[in-house]
Structure 1
Amino acid sequence: MSQTSEHHYERLIEIFKRCFSEDYNTILVAGDDEPYYQPSAEEGEPHKVVFAHGFFASALHETAHWCIAGEARRKLFDYGYWYEPDGRNEAQQKSFEQVEQKPQALEWLFSLCCGFPFQVSVDNLNGVEVDRQAFSSKVAAQLSRLLEENTIPPRAAKFAKALCDDFNCSWPNPPNS
Structure 2
Amino acid sequence: MEKADYRCLIELFENCFYADYQTRLVAGDDEPLYQPGTAGADHQVIFAHGFFASALHEIAHWCIAGAARRQQVDYGYWYEPDGRDAEQQAQFEQLERKPQAIEWLFSACADVPFQVSVDNLGGIEVDRAAFTAAVRAQLVAYLRDETLPPRAERFARALAAHYQQSYRSVVCQFLASA
Q: With structure 1 as the length reference, what TM-score do the two structures score?
A: 0.95
Between the aligned partners of 2:142 and 2:108, the Cα distance in structure 1 is: 14
Q: Which amino acid aligns with 2:74?
A: D
Deviation readout 1:23-45 (Å, 9 max, x if unpaired): 000000000110010001222x1
Equivalence for 1:151: 147
Between the aligned partners of 1:150 and 1:40, the Cα distance in structure 2 is: 31
How far is 1:149 from its partner? 1.1
State the 4+ residue runs in structure 1 displaced beyond 2 angstroms: none
Between the aligned partners of 1:169 and 1:85, the Cα distance in structure 2 is: 36
Matched residues, percent identical?
A: 60
Equivalence for 1:28: 25
Equivalence for 1:78: 74
1:18 matches 2:15: yes
Between the aligned partners of 2:153 and 2:27, the Cα distance in structure 1 is: 22
Deviation readout 1:113-159 (Å, 9 max, x if unpaired): 11010000000000010000000000000011111111110000100
| Residue segments in structure 2 that go unaligned for 5+ positions in a row | none
Between the aligned partners of 2:12 and 2:55, the Cα distance in structure 1 is: 11
How far is 1:101 from its partner? 0.3
Equivalence for 2:102: 106
Q: Which amino acid aligns with 1:27?
A: R
Three-state SS of the structure 2 residue aligned to 1:93 is helix
Q: Which residues of 2 match residues 152-167 of structure 1 at below 5 A?
A: 152-167=148-163
Between the aligned partners of 2:14 and 2:28, the Cα distance in structure 1 is: 16
Deviates more, 1:85-94 or 1:34-43: 34-43
How many residue pairs get aligned? The number is 173
Equivalence for 1:92: 88
Equivalence for 1:55: 51
How far is 1:70 from its partner? 0.2
Between the aligned partners of 2:97 and 2:33, the Cα distance in structure 1 is: 18
* Equivalent of residue 164 in structure 2, options 150, 153, 168: 168
Between the aligned partners of 1:90 and 1:42, the Cα distance in structure 2 is: 42
**Higher helix proportion, which one?**
2
How far is 1:169 from its partner? 1.1
Q: Which amino acid aligns with 1:113?
A: C
Computed over aligned residues only, the root mean square deviation of the Cα atoms, in angstroms, reads 1.0
Equivalence for 1:7: 4
Q: With structure 2 as the length reference, what TM-score do the two structures score?
A: 0.95
Three-state SS of the structure 1 residue aligned to 2:115 is coil
| Residue segments in structure 1 that go unaligned for 5+ positions in a row | none
Q: Which amino acid aligns with 1:141?
A: A
Three-state SS of the structure 2 residue aligned to 1:168 is coil
